[in-house]
Amino acid sequence: MTEAVQQAPGTHPVDMERPWPFVPFGANLTVDRAEGPYLYTPEGQRILDAAGGAVVGNIGYGRADVTEAMAAAVRRFGYVVPPFQTDSRLRLVERLRDRWLPPGLDRVHLNSGGTEAMEVALKLARQVHVARGEPQRRVVIGRDLSYHGASIMTLAVGGHAERRAGFEDWLPDWPKAPPHYCLRCPLGLSRPTCGTACVDAIDRLIGETGPQNVAAVIAEPVVGSSGGSFVPPDDYWPRLREICSRHGVLLIADEVMSGFGRTGAKFAVDHWNVVPDILVGGKGMSGGYAPIAGVYAGEELARPLAETGQQLMYYTYGGHPAACAAADAVLEIMEREDMVARVAALEPRMEAALAPLRQHPNVAEVRGKGLLWSIEMVRDRDTLERFPVEAGLSFKVVSEGLSRGVFFYPGGTKVHRDIVTLGPPFVVTEADIDLIGAVLRESIDAAVAACG
């Protein structure tokens, strides 16, 4: 038997020879319970979860309404095959249609997580073109510094170098557009004189590929942790909408991270009054209480499939009754407690708490929206030189934060690195936010010092 070298009081012993993650992760913690925005270790240490887990937790942890709704669903049905209707499925879909989704997106397909949902969104785009008699539309244009999931096809359309590494031969070599990464503009331009040329680049790529060959453009409206909270210029999404419509290309908005209130609107696309053809939400949809994500589209995409007898294949656990009950309860709490407005109201406090970091010698940029923020660190502020990969600066900051009682999320793609992302539960107080700013500064100082 492998020796258990670490045992926290009252818990199962930790087997250090065969750690819980398949291979060890850069930072480690045993969590005993969670409440509000806090995690508690078995020793009773309280950790402020400034990342909401993986930018998932929104209503805070330990809400009895949610656990009771889930328990009731499991008591009634252990499992019901996804195409059948249950009370919790119907209630969730009705709530989404009536109170959350952009106008016209009233067809819902439920999955167990963001990757599954993104994969379904890609298949849906392809199936629609086939059903409409345009089978040559197969190329999907994504962007550099993006993440859409860990399956092969979602890796293919994403721009996450580290997660694609080793799989390149399996990934279709489709065009990638430059991101709106204004700190280091890939086009060598600067705001405001750039004219948002990065969105014109998508128009150009569609033209070069041949619009008749392009199925979809896929993008995160506010880029999550891969880029580190890139917020687009205000004209970006309206122009992207126009470009896609003009070419008959479907626009897929990946709001797995930015959706369900995270940026201070129900969905980030709402900031610019844009309705994509396909919207994908996950993470905050159930606040982390249950695995669930959704693909949302309109009648004009559902009809061609129905007319040609095509299914949008479900996965066994898609729309599990307990996950639907959890999501329904979480969204109900968000509505009752007006949490999307709370996120918008807390944005200035977050910005103020992080503002001192803007002067930090090793911080190049502080950026974000709502309660989705990132800090990009550099060795040299003037040249924007990064720390070496081996320094693992983001993980060092995460470890330093944990030792000071705050959890931050490591971001970047390895090539693009030294990013720390913040996505706290919406129930954080102003004092919690101030603490996040103060501890982040101390953690960066300590991590940079450890890099030598």
Ligand X SMILES: Cc1ncc(COP(=O)(O)O)c(C=O)c1O
Residues of the shown chain interacting with ligand X in the complex, contacts defined by CB under 6 A = 54, 113-115, 118, 147-149, 220, 224, 254, 256-257, 282
**How far are the Cα atoms of 198, 229, 238 from residue 235, in angstroms, in the given order?**
11, 17, 6
Q: Minimal CA–CA distance to 126: which of 205, 211, 254, 216?
A: 216
Shorter beta-carbon distance to ligand X: residue 61 or 387 = 61
Shorter beta-carbon distance to ligand X: residue 256 or 343 = 256
Q: Are 83 and 318 in contact (CB under 8 A)?
A: no
Q: How far is the CB of 114 from ligand X (least distance, A)?
A: 2
Backbone φ, ψ for residue 409 (5° rounding): -105, 125
Which residue matches tokens 């009754």?
321
Shorter beta-carbon distance to ligand X: residue 255 or 365 = 255
CB half-sphere exposure, 172, CA atoms < 13 A: 11
Q: How far is the CB of 296 from ligand X (least distance, A)?
A: 14
Q: How far is the CB of 52 from ligand X (least distance, A)?
A: 12
Q: What tokens appear for 328 in the block?
A: 């329904």
Q: Minimal CA–CA distance to 418: which of 371, 363, 358?
A: 363
Q: Which long-range contacts (CB under 8 A, 24 or more apart) does 341-348 make?
A: 342/426, 343/261, 343/262, 343/263, 343/264, 343/370, 343/371, 343/426, 344/264, 344/265, 344/370, 346/370, 346/371, 346/426, 346/428, 346/430, 346/433, 347/264, 347/371
Shorter beta-carbon distance to ligand X: residue 228 or 298 = 228
Q: How far is the CB of 268 from ligand X (least distance, A)?
A: 11
Q: How far is the CB of 4 from ligand X (least distance, A)?
A: 30
Q: Could you give the CA distance from residue 395 to residue 417 in angstroms, rounded to a whole number? A: 11
Shorter beta-carbon distance to ligand X: residue 247 or 262 = 262
Shorter beta-carbon distance to ligand X: residue 114 or 321 = 114
- Using CB atoms within 10 Å of the CB of residue 85, give its burial: 0 to 12 exposed, 13 to 18 middle, 19+ buried: exposed
Shorter beta-carbon distance to ligand X: residue 157 or 378 = 157
Q: How far is the CB of 336 from ligand X (least distance, A)?
A: 26
Q: How far is the CB of 338 from ligand X (least distance, A)?
A: 25
Shorter beta-carbon distance to ligand X: residue 86 or 115 = 115
The angle at the Cα of 107, spanning 101 to 108, to the nearest 5 degrees, equals 80
Shorter beta-carbon distance to ligand X: residue 224 or 321 = 224
Q: How far is the CB of 356 from ligand X (least distance, A)?
A: 28
Sign, CA torsion 152/155/379/362: negative
The angle that helices 430-451 and 339-354 make with each other, rounded to 10 degrees, is 40
Shorter beta-carbon distance to ligand X: residue 55 or 139 = 55
Shorter beta-carbon distance to ligand X: residue 105 or 257 = 257
SS3 of residue 291 by DSSP:
coil
| Beta-sheet pairing, 293-297 with 278-281 | antiparallel
**How far are the Cα atoms of 161, 172, 309, 361, 366 from residue 253, in angstroms, in the given order?**
21, 20, 26, 35, 24
Q: How far is the CB of 409 from ligand X (least distance, A)?
A: 10
Overall residue count recorded for the chain in this entry: 452
Identity of the amino acid at 184: R
Q: How far is the CB of 381 from ligand X (least distance, A)?
A: 28
The residue at minimum Cβ distance from ligand X is 114
Which residue matches tokens 């970091």?
357
Q: How far is the CB of 76 from ligand X (least distance, A)?
A: 26
